[in-house]
Chain A
């Protein structure tokens, strides 16, 4: 393999946050339209997985005429293999709170929430303390802005934005139909900006240094840096901020254990990339790039040759079956049948061609499921079955 690979490590997110008051004050003195343009020209895209341009999201909400609007920080972080948002909220919470307040100023909102997954309950006291300190500063600046912590209760689907609103409204976390989109009809039916924790932390960098510093990192369609949660068969699991657009081969050179057989990019709802595709795969958002570009919430799970890909798929499918909200049939029944199906093939009760039937079922789910959970089961299923077919059968 080619030597001389070079992964660019970046240090924005966890950089000292002691200047947050200055950044807040400075931003609140700039015209909202200028702040939006700063974000738009940085080309920052959402870090929660879907990759919607953040500047446009804020602009859409700013253009709504409603007097009541909400801001929500999505800290549900439930995608298997993802653990970066907790680190941000632990190490640099003031950046996230500052970003939320600037968003409030830009779109005209006075009430914000952090939706924190129930598993991170132990973070509550420290976060509440940070919120109190932050709100005191807002008061000093005569800026009317309140932030509340809302605890999740152990449901992966509540990370999906509309399910999250339902959950906050005291209901089952069942995704809504889209449109209407959150920027016009979100929490309690009001215009809502919902952003991932990391997305908000990046806006802090952009408001601090200007759009260019951010834009200069990365590649076309995938600007800036991103936090990666690295786990599995690697000598150095952990959280790393890297420039977007890296090739998976370079990533594996740096993080692999010398025996990497495949990498799952983007968690259970992402894609498995086998070794033969490392070189042609880059990490970033889809655009007209050559080769394959995989978007991701930042989960990178490495598997070496001792791992059975059947076990990996079985584990993911069990996850989806348990976490499906059960609201729509393609997903509720589909997840069940996929799991039973691969078990039957493994036990020899069905032959290998049955896998093709299951592949068609995932395609149907992709088109007919109501939300991203059911739609994305096809990603891992097809990329694992197509690349490791023998392991599914024998």
Chain B
């Protein structure tokens, strides 16, 4: 909790306390904490002198501002047309199989969450997915198995990709 407060302090110092700093601050918290807890939203509201409901209403509008606890590695696989045509489902099944979770779930150890998302802008290299902010393209079941093995091996967090 103290850590979140400190983070919010730093972010408001960096971006200011105007309403127009709200999105960058929310993004900054998500980057560090993986999601926006109710506590964080209330504290951000306090720091910017806004009603908490406004902060909540804004945050919940954006699909990249998670307000439920997410795993350390958030996988977002594209489900829009070209990725679907180019074998997204097989890739998705491979991920579900390896991590033993379904879309919308998080592994019990809190390492991986799996979501679907809309067109990532890599249709010419479909299917595509994001893991946190890293892009992976031209996916096949074999390729995704390799990628996930890489993450599973580094689970200790030494090579955390979050910036």
Complex CA distance for A119 and B117, rounded to whole angstroms:
10
Give the chain A neighbours of B114 by CB distance below 8 A. none
Q: Smallest CB-CB separation from B117: which chain A residue?
A: A154
> Judging by beta carbons under 8 Å apart, are A120 and B124 in contact?
no
Given A83-B121, A319-B118, A323-B118, answer yes or no on A153-B27 (Cβ-Cβ < 8 Å).
yes
**In the complex, per-residue mask of A124-158: 1 if CB is within 8 Å of any chain B CB, else 0:** 00000000000000000000000000111111100
Decide if A6 is an interface residue (CB 8 Å cutoff): no
> Judging by beta carbons under 8 Å apart, are A80 and B119 in contact?
yes
> Judging by beta carbons under 8 Å apart, are B64 and A118 in contact?
yes
Decide if A322 is an interface residue (CB 8 Å cutoff): yes
Return the contact of B62 from the options A83, A86, A153 (Cβ within 8 A).
Answer: A153
Decide if B90 is an interface residue (CB 8 Å cutoff): no
CB under 8 Å from chain A, chain B span 3-54: 18-24, 26-27
Complex CA distance for A86 and B137, rounded to whole angstroms:
15
Q: Smallest CB-CB separation from B31: which chain A residue?
A: A121
Give the chain A neighbours of B18 by CB distance below 8 A. 170
Decide if B101 is an interface residue (CB 8 Å cutoff): no
Instruction: Mark the stretch among B92-100, B105-113, B126-134, B144-152 that contacts chain A.
Output: B126-134
Instruction: Mark the stretch among A17-25, A102-110, A307-315, A369-377 that contacts chain B.
Output: A307-315
Complex CA distance for A78 and B81, rounded to whole angstroms:
13
> Judging by beta carbons under 8 Å apart, are B118 and A232 in contact?
no
Complex CA distance for A151 and B119, rounded to whole angstroms:
17
Q: Smallest CB-CB separation from A187: which chain B residue?
A: B20
Please classify how large the interface on chain B is, using the bins under 10, 10 to 19, 20 to 34, 35 or more.
Answer: 35 or more
> Judging by beta carbons under 8 Å apart, are A151 and B23 in contact?
yes
Give the chain A neighbours of B21 by CB distance below 8 A. 170
> Judging by beta carbons under 8 Å apart, are A230 and B124 in contact?
yes
Decide if A394 is an interface residue (CB 8 Å cutoff): no
> Judging by beta carbons under 8 Å apart, are A170 and B22 in contact?
yes
Complex CA distance for A258 and B21, rounded to whole angstroms:
51
**Nearest Cβ distance between residue B19 and chain A, in whole angstroms?**
4
Complex CA distance for A82 and B18, rounded to whole angstroms:
33
Give the chain A neighbours of B120 by CB distance below 8 A. 119
> Judging by beta carbons under 8 Å apart, are B124 and A172 in contact?
no
Return the contact of B123 from the options A122, A151, A169, A301 (Cβ within 8 A).
Answer: A301
Complex CA distance for A78 and B18, rounded to whole angstroms:
27
> Judging by beta carbons under 8 Å apart, are B23 and A155 in contact?
no
Return the contact of B80 from the options A80, A171, A229 (Cβ within 8 A).
Answer: A80
**Nearest Cβ distance between residue A319 and chain B, in whole angstroms?**
6
Complex CA distance for A188 and B20, rounded to whole angstroms:
9
Complex CA distance for A81 and B133, rounded to whole angstroms:
20
> Judging by beta carbons under 8 Å apart, are B124 and A153 in contact?
no
Q: Smallest CB-CB separation from B120: which chain A residue?
A: A119
**Nearest Cβ distance between residue B81 and chain A, in whole angstroms?**
5
Decide if A352 is an interface residue (CB 8 Å cutoff): no
Given A154-B62, A315-B80, answer yes or no on A117-B124 (Cβ-Cβ < 8 Å).
no
**Nearest Cβ distance between residue B65 and chain A, in whole angstroms?**
5
Q: Smallest CB-CB separation from A323: which chain B residue?
A: B118
Give the chain B neighbours of A122 by CB distance below 8 A. 133-135
> Judging by beta carbons under 8 Å apart, are A311 and B84 in contact?
yes
> Judging by beta carbons under 8 Å apart, are A173 and B61 in contact?
yes
Give the chain A neighbours of B62 by CB distance below 8 A. 118, 152-155, 173
> Judging by beta carbons under 8 Å apart, are A119 and B80 in contact?
no
Q: Smallest CB-CB separation from A151: which chain B residue?
A: B27
Give the chain B neighbours of A119 by CB distance below 8 A. 117, 120-121, 130
Give the residue among A119, A150, A169, A301 with the most B Cβ atoms within 10 A: A119
Decide if A77 is an interface residue (CB 8 Å cutoff): yes
Give the chain A neighbours of B63 by CB distance below 8 A. 153-155
Complex CA distance for A169 and B130, rounded to whole angstroms:
27
**Nearest Cβ distance between residue A41 and chain B, in whole angstroms?**
33
CB under 8 Å from chain B, chain A span 322-341: 322-323, 325
Give the chain A neighbours of B79 by CB distance below 8 A. 315
Give the chain A neighbours of B84 by CB distance below 8 A. 311, 315
Return the contact of B121 from the options A117, A268, A319 (Cβ within 8 A).
Answer: A117
> Judging by beta carbons under 8 Å apart, are B81 and A229 in contact?
no
Decide if A167 is an interface residue (CB 8 Å cutoff): yes
> Judging by beta carbons under 8 Å apart, are B130 and A301 in contact?
no
Return the contact of A167 from the options B23, B57, B130 (Cβ within 8 A).
Answer: B23
Contact sample, A vs B, 7 pairs, CB 8 Å cutoff: A78-B121, A81-B82, A83-B122, A121-B133, A170-B23, A315-B81, A322-B118
The 8 closest A-B pairs by CB, nearest first: A170-B22, A154-B64, A237-B124, A153-B62, A154-B63, A231-B123, A80-B119, A172-B61
